[in-house]
Amino acid sequence: MTDRFRLTLAQLNPTVGAIEANAGKALAAWEEGRAAGADFVGLPEMFLTGYQTQDLVMKPAFTADAMRAVDRLALACADGPALGIGAPYRDASGLYNAYYILQGGKVLARMLKHHLPNDDVFDEVRLFKPGPISGPYRIGPLRIGSPVCEDAWYEDVAETLAETGAQILFVPNGSPYRRRKIDLRLNVTVARVIETGLPLVYLNTVGGQDDQVFDGASFVLNPGGAMALQLPAMEEAIAHVDFEEGPDGWRALPGTLTAQPDDWEQDYHAMVLGLRDYLGKSGIARVILGLSGGIDSALVATIAADAVGPQNVHCVMLPSQFTSAASLEDAAGVAQRLGCRLDTVPISGPQAAVAEALAPLFAGTAAGIAEENIQSRLRGLLLMALSNKFGAMLLTTGNKSEVAVGYCTIYGDMAGGYNPIKDLYKTRVFETCRWRNREHRDWMQGPAGEVIPSRVIDKPPSAELRADQKDEDSLPPYAVLDAILERLIEGEQSVAEIVAAGFDRATVKKVEGLLYGAEWKRFQSAPGTRLTTRAFWLDRRYPIVNRWRDNS
């Protein structure tokens, strides 16, 4: 009789610090697996505590609480399939990122993560001690080897497991989203499959945590790299995969292959999921934002409507003497199409009061940026007052291009608790709006159709802080600006390299100066959804005070 083995994959969304709630989700998944006749139910890396914990995991009381929860979960799952779950482990030798196998009311095996990532958003070398390479563990007829997340990116762990008798590789992960990450994971895991000749199960967590979004997209590969199962991106899913042993070893039987979305949909879904979980996991149901009639606030309002529903999005137009009639019409058009509440609060009265208060000190000086920024700061003040009064989180709306060069007002339009488009360059803002107007998905809570009027997308961007102002009065055209910024930020290219690529040297130097000079603003900015490998915060950590400039 052919041996068979059923593995239940629980691609679920934990909350950092919600240990009992996460344990409850794990137990529910285990019960579903037991009902389906599973031999093993697997959950992702560090699922019990949520991921990433950052320095929270270094607190002994927190780690002890998590380890006690592991023991309770083992007892609760004593009668049925084995359960795999990630959680910290501490003993006299140190603190480890561990993966526990629970069976029969106790810990059957414990894998300690060997390779600790120390790049991008990860700083695990600071938090954990690297564990030894663990051998395989047996569940029923099958010997399973479990490289923990980063361990699968190196040859040595998988090779050792194969040499010590593993028959499949089961890899629990906490791998955050960034553009084209799914393809990168496939390239790495196919290499492990080819090297070992073993099937590989890649189980990833899903959900938002601060700036990071974990995209799920778990999969199963057979020897040779053929895909047997593909779970959806950005969504919770529980799936059962059956393995059979034949003359050539164990193989996964074919399952559902969920088509993966393109870059535009993945980015947009990440921004929606990131905002939804940032709010939901913080216990906040509603948002408020300033809707200016421009493209950035229109996109943020749309993301918010898709994340928490239009009924929970409060838009406020705060016109000044420089706000055009077209902007008033466009803000109203966006709110109406989305189905969001829109209120208008003119700032002319507060602006006049501030001007009167400052008149003795400003006497004899020419009006300029200080007066312009008063408008932005008054808007921030009024929006924060509404946020405090009604318990709605204020969203800030600056795109990556503006955040990069400081084309935003600290304590003004930068005020807010979260920024969904913080890692989205302006040129991608335009295309994302067009994409959303064309597309609608079941996970979007906002309406289908053209929710952002074409006039909002096509008109020249303006902060409207002075008469006839346009962004390009102060900045290069966004197509040029973004191309330079991507080379400076994502590419870490020198000025000489960028000039050699065909850009004007004076323009490049101006952008470089603005980028470095705005570091202090970014240090105080709201978190926002990470979409690239060089998002502002954990990915790119530059000093605030920095006198160096590239003179190449």
Residues with a known catalytic role: 45, 113, 149
Token look-up 């979980």 returns: 277
Instruction: Write the burial class of residue 53 (CB in 10 Å: 0-12 exposed, 13-18 middle, 19+ buried).
Output: buried
Residue 254: both structure tokens together: 């074919």
Beta strands in 29-187 (DSSP E): 40-42, 82-91, 94-103, 106-112, 137-139, 142-145, 168-173
Q: Is 54 exposed, middle or buried (0-12, 13-18, 19+ CB in 10 A)?
A: middle
Three-class SS state of 182: helix
Coil vs helix vs strand at 102 = strand
Instruction: Count Cβ atoms below 10 Å from residue 496 Cβ, excluding itself.
Output: 13
Pairing of strands 94-103, 106-112: antiparallel
For the chain, percent helix, then strand, then coil, each to nearest 5? Answer: 40, 20, 40
Helices marked H in 424-468 — which ranges?
426-438, 454-458
**Distance from CA of residue 399 to its chain's centroid?**
15
Q: What angle do CA 435, 376, 278 make, to 5 degrees?
A: 50
To the nearest 10°, report the CA torsion of 357, 360, 361, 366: 100
Distance CA(52)–CA(487), nearest Å, equals 29
d(CA 67, CA 95): 12
CA distances 273 to 25, 269, 441, 491, Å, are 19, 6, 13, 27
